[in-house]
Structure 1
Amino acid sequence: MDGQNTPRDRERIYSVFKYFSAEKENGGPLVDVSKASIRTADATNVSISTVERVCREARDTMEVFRKPVFEEKKRKRSKTVTGLDDFDKVVLRRKILQSYERKELPTIEKVLHEMKENIGFKGSRESLRKIMREIGFRYAKVNVRRFLMERHDVQCTRARFLEKMHRVRERVQTVIYLDETWVNQNYSVGKCRINSKSERATGMKVPTGKGSRLIILHAGSKEGFVPDAQLVFSAKNDGDYHHQMNHVVFEEWFSNQLLPNIPSSSVIVMDNAPYHSRRVENPPTTSSNKATIKEWLVKKGLEPKDNMLKCHLLEMVQQYSRNIGNIYVIDKIAEENGHKVIRLTPYHCHYNPIELIWGQVKNYISKRNNFKMADLKLLVNEAMASVTTENWANAVNHAERLQAEDAKNDVYIDKFVDSFITTLESSDSSDEESL
């Protein structure tokens, strides 16, 4: 066989070599290259030099000859982080802040215990720590003891929102709350009564999978849903429904269905979803050339020097943007029609009463859904019609009560924390691990 050296022979030699080079001996390390070559030569009736020459000609085996073959260690999977939905995150935030009301400094151990007691949180200490960092809490040091403290930017954003809403209520302006939600074709109740004495399972049979999805966009106030402002449309079932929405759909609905149907000089409250927040103009970035940046600055009435470096020009852009703030398309459309937009504080969805309305709508659907898409659209309309003016008034009153409570608590907590803090520390990994 040494003299033939045909492509078929070389393929056979290489295949046998790969088999032996990957073989284990008595559960021990993989066979080394030299031993694999000897065993390949015996099995294929060729010389060892032929085996080595054939394998060297195969590019995939070059690395095999350069170094020994070792068994790859399996990587450990990272532990799953137990998450919380938006409403449970609200509970978490309020539990932390209520500790200050009791004149107690919150620690992660105390908060973890309360979350297990109140909502049955099943996550670990590490999961809770990551969630708290996500919603804007960091760690501070008081007399060498570390405790949870809300980030300064989150506090300031909330304070500004609460001040604006307080002024709106003083002026007795109409407040319109808007939001989007979704419902799947196979949406159903989580629990139902069954006959536990029967040998056969009884109860509702829910199809597997979520099925198709409907996205619902609407707005309302203490007076109920805004007339003729409902938008319901089908979307692809490919993950988070927020990806199904875009600024084109939202801005068209905002201009053509919402604004014509609300009282003049209304205040419109919405969250900071990307499709709510398209900028009128995007400022230059690091990918822009110097000429473009200079031109943009000059249009804004600034006077950049000719010898300035690009980094200095970008600093001027950032400073201007901070002073002016973001100008959004939706805000401008509302202003042109005599209305004003106020944006919710991040991580504070409980300030929007429509969240409670969505819960009522979904509860209605879950108890009556027959899992047919054509009927689901009719059921959505029926569920929306079941929401009364009283339901809306109660939801708005609840949200306003929470806002008033938080405004008072912020003042109290600010004084309490300030009297104890000696040194602030950033929430780096070393601090968090020591908690």
Structure 2
Amino acid sequence: METSPTSRCPRLHSQAKEIIYNVNRYFLDEKANGAPMLPTTQALARTAKATKVSKRTVRRICSKANQEWWSEAEHKKPIFHSPTKTQPTTVTNFDDFEKCVLRRTVLEFYERNEIPTLYKVTEELRDKISYNGSTESLRRVLLQIGFRFSHVDGRKFLMERSDVAVARTKFLREMRQVRESFENFVFLDETWVNQNYTVAKCWTDMASKQATGVKPPTGKGNRLIILHAGTKEGFVKNAELFFQAKNDGDYHNQMNAAVFEQWFKTQLLPNIAPKSVIVMDNASYHSTVLEKNPTSSWRKEAIKDWLIKNGAHPRDDMLKVELYDLAKKMCNGKKTYVIDTLASEAGHKVVRLPPYHCQYNPIELIWAQVKTYISKKNTFKVAELKHLVKEALSTVTAENWKQAIKHTEKLQEQDAKQDVAVERFIESFVINIEDSSDEESSD
């Protein structure tokens, strides 16, 4: 908030105007209700509800005002400061956990019957994960994980992409169905550990200002890729695979379909229980297509051969556009993957995670446990790191796996309920916007 040199009236920024608008709407709702929306004894909750700011943020602001910023010279009026402008302008390196928190934060707004805006989401993330980036950085991350911005009544708010929401809904429904028919579930994934991987913090000698213990080398060093799978009974026996790879970016670039398929056939399938459900993500090397579907770039004869091979009987006088249209209807966007076929032939079923939802895979929690163990004991030598990985894997118990699986199942149940609440609010919100336009104008 700034003060104009020609007037004592403060010049309000857009965020302050939005809060004033929210408070005014809250009072109007109370007027229409004929009584307070919340008991007058709940000052914190009433403030949060009126301003549409989280109770945690209200508590933090008021606490700082009471404890730190009182000014006797201004008759005990609290002094507030805008966030420092020295914060990083680009913070987009969210890990999987932070992306999960971000997604759930946005959708929780709909559960509370509030419209998620970029500013509101940013403020909540500052409390939840100490996010110190700009709103523009957060905008980029939101777009990366499947959100988009929509305009309603002149205001911009966040909406999850329909394809992401549909994929999640299908996955949750499929998991509910397979739990009725299958008892054995296998969860697989890859991760990586750098040679110089270590803890982020350690004790420091205040006299010498130096960290005690071994000082890690500079740089990340070589990279070790780990591929494994687990069940409620623990890691699948004889299924571990790890190898040294070049440190040239994302570890997914080090894997390929040939390595994964060989591991899948020789180390996973022979060692899992009959009639298992295998849960995995949609990494490219997990998703090699058994037979490609026709595209518009195919030659006419190639499309015709594909149709005949798949049981169709195209007429000789059909044009290429007709053949292609018939092929699209036959495949209906479905793809047959090599891995799915291998699993089906062995009596198993593959279920693929929806995009941007790695939190549904319990092995992610197991990897966090393994990496924590490695970070505390790493000696920064590649030869010893391989032994340390085996040692870390051996510390994971069946109980750890059961707790991780229970946690992800709970998340899935919560998200299924959340999707219903989100849909209900969005539909009512759109209806209210359309039906109350005259009332908004008169107010």
Place the TM-score, normalised by the shorter chain, in its bin. Answer: 0.7 to 0.9
Could you tell me the TM-score, scaled by structure 2's length?
A: 0.74
- Distance verdict in 2 for CA 1:253–1:199, change over 3 Å: closer
Q: In structure 2, how many angstroms separate the alpha carbons of the residues matched to 1:122 and 1:315? A: 51
Separation (CA, whole Å) in 1 of partners of 2:343 and 2:182:
19
What one-letter code is carried by the residue in structure 1 that aligns with 2:302?
T
Over 3 Å counting, the alpha-carbon distance change for 1:313 and 1:123 in structure 2 is: farther
Q: Aligned to 2:221, what secondary structure does the other structure show?
A: coil
Deviation at 1:144, TM superposition (A): 3.8
Please identify, of 253-262 and 285-294, the stretch whose mean Cα deviation from structure 2 is larger: 285-294
Aligned position for 2:402: 393
2:411 corresponds to which of 389, 392, 402: 402
Partner of 1:419: 428
**How far did 1:333 drift?**
0.5
Counterpart among 182, 185, 196 of residue 186 in structure 1: 196
Greater shift in the superposed pair: 389-398 or 131-140: 131-140
Shift in Å, 1:213: 1.4
Report the more deviating stretch, 355-364 or 233-242: 233-242
List alignment gaps of at least 5 residues for structure 2.
1-88, 434-443
Task: Please give the alpha-carbon distance, in whole angstroms, between the structure 2 residues aligned to 1:94 and 1:291.
Answer: 49
In the TM superposition, 1:305-324 aligns within 5 A as: 305-306=315-316, 308-322=318-332
Kept in 2: contact 1:141–1:421 (CA 8 A): no
**Distance in 1 between the 2:353 and 2:381 partners?**
35
**Which consecutive unaligned segments of at least 5 residues does structure 1 have?**
1-78, 425-435
Is the Cα–Cα contact under 8 Å of residues 279 and 350 in structure 2 kept in the other structure?
yes
Q: How far 1:129 moved relative to its partner?
A: 1.3
Deviations 1:159-194 (CA, angstroms, capped at 9, x unpaired):
111111112223352111000011111111111111
8 Å contact from structure 2 (residues 90, 133) kept in 1: no
Residue matched to 1:263: 273
C-alpha contact 2:203 2:211 (8 A) present in aligned 1: no
- Structure ranking higher on relative contact order (CA contacts 8 Å, 6+ apart): 1
Aligned match of 1:333: 342
> Within 5 Å, which residues of 2 pair with 1:5-404?
80=90, 82-171=92-181, 173-198=183-208, 202-306=212-316, 308-322=318-332, 325-404=334-413
Opposite residue 173 of structure 2, the aligned amino acid is: E
Secondary structure of the 2:198 match is coil
Q: CA deviation at 1:87?
A: 1.4
Q: Note if contact 1:142-1:423 (Cα within 8 Å) is conserved in structure 2.
A: no
Residues 234 and 401 in structure 2, CA contact (< 8 A), matched pair in contact too: yes
What TM-score, normalized by structure 1, do the two folds share?
A: 0.75
Q: Distance in 1 between matches of 2:255 and 2:412?
A: 29
* Partner Cα distance (1:339, 1:373) in 2: 37
* CA pair 241-200 structure 1, distance change in 2 beyond 3 A: closer
* CA distance in structure 1 between the partners assigned to 2:318 and 2:139 by the alignment: 44
> In the superposition, relative to structure 1, how do residues 314 and 384 fare at CA in structure 2: closer, same or farther (>3 Å)?
same
Please give the secondary structure, in 2, of the residue aligned with 1:393.
Answer: helix
Residue 196 of structure 1 and its aligned partner are, at CA, apart by: 1.4
Q: Distance in 1 between matches of 2:210 and 2:246?
A: 36
Q: Distance in 2 between matches of 1:208 and 1:368?
A: 17
Match of 1:76? none
Q: Deviations over 1:206-228 (max 9, x none)?
A: 11221111111111111111111
Distance 1:80 1:306 in 2: 59
Considering only aligned residues, what root-mean-square deviation do their CA atoms show, in Å? 2.0
Q: What is the distance in 1 between the residues matched to 2:145 and 2:329? A: 27
Q: Aligned with 1:421: secondary structure? A: helix
Whether the 8 Å CA contact 2:182–2:275 is kept in 1: the answer is: no
Q: Give the % identical residues.
A: 57
Q: Which has the larger radius of gyration?
A: 1
- Give the superposition deviation at 1:307: 5.1
- Residues 336, 172 of structure 1: alpha-carbon distance in 2 compared, 3 angstrom cutoff: closer
CA distance in 2, matches of 1:119, 1:285: 45
In 2, distance between residues paired with 1:421 and 1:149? 13
